Amino acid sequence: MHSFFRKNLTGSAASIAKRSGSSVRYQARSRRGAMLILICVMIFAFLVTVAFSVDIAYMNLTKSELRSATDAAAKAAAETLARTQDLNAAIARGQAIALENKVANKPLELRASDFSFGKSELAASGKFEFRTNAGRINSVRVNSERTNTSLSGSVPLFVGRALGVDSFQPRETSTATFIQRDIVLVVDRSGSMLDFNKFNDLRSAIAIFVQILNDSPVEERIGLASYSTTESEDVQLTESLNLITDAMDRMPVGGFTNISGGIDAGGLVMSRARSRDFVERTMIVLTDGLQNRGRPARNAARTQAALGITIHSITFGRDADQSAMQDVASIGGGRYFHADNGAQLREVFEEIALTLSTILTE
């Protein structure tokens, strides 16, 4: 009897233990299955987030490209308008430049109606205000877009379409204004400018510069300073731009190189400039050599930059101090150019002339 009960108790305990073990194993498998599902859901959510971030980055890049293309079109149209006073020519030029800029891997196409013309004036707030039908035209506004109704169409998205958003439709507006500017040319007349007919190349380049500004409707005034061992104020700021080329034709050449003296003389000419309220002040400094007289050109540039004068610098020929003149432009908030020969120098002065008279005001 005792033996029978012990056997049954033992069997029951074994059965209970077996069932308990099965339950534990089942619960463990259930937990592992639940965790696996959770991990899969989290991985999917992570992949969706990463994929959607690709669209976000693409949208930001597209908007940046559209902004750059719009700015370029507006500035090109304003430059052309300043030179030709022809609205149709300005539109055509703006459209051509827009096509050279890709937005989301597709050239930006603009309609003529995307261009508007008016007048920008500096308001009491310190910002420029653009108005159409406000008298003399001095500004071009470009409204560009990549939308379903634009010539270039909207921008397709990669992942957004899975969420019901097929495309991105950015819009941008840019206004370029050609403005009044007082300009002082500071030229090198040291002895090295006689080598390889460099001074004749300079005369030719400045003649092109003057001609372009003569053809512009913008009211620019130009002055001239020069330097060799000593500096001189050759022409005070004038609207009679032929005085600049006449002075260049008569200018003697010889002596050492005192770039800082030339910048100082240019500053004296600029001190008689018009009000800064709307008239921009620009100095263009050229040299073909190394400074061997006077204080460092950088110091003279700092003095003029502190007076609100933008300084562009040009080096001409292989012996010019490119490093120092790059610093001069950087200090003056302007651009640095280098020309190896006369043809390149003419291109530099042409480029400067075409871009001097426009700014982006919106």
The model's pLDDT over 246-305, given as tens digits with 9 standing for 90+, comes to 999 999 999 999 999 999 999 999 999 987 765 789 999 999 999 999 999 999 999 999
Residues of the chain with pLDDT under 70: 1-35, 38-39, 41, 44-52, 159-164, 217-218, 277-278, 357
pLDDT single digits (tens) 182-225: 999 999 999 999 999 999 999 999 999 999 988 876 678 999 99
3-state secondary structure of 14: helix
Q: Give helix then strand counts, H and E, for the chain.
A: 8, 15
CA 275 – CA 135 distance, rounded (Å)? 22
CA 242 – CA 276 distance, rounded (Å)? 25
Question: Which of the 8 DSSP states describes residue 108?
Answer: P
Domains with residue ranges and CATH for the chain: 43-178 (no CATH), 181-360 (3.40.50.410)
Tokens linked to 36: 């696996």
* β-strand pairing of 231-238 with 106-107: unpaired
CA-nearest of 340, 210, 235 to 288 is 340
pTM summary value: 0.58
User: CB of 357 within 8 A of CB of 177?
Assistant: no
CA-nearest of 352, 349, 272, 338 to 307 is 272
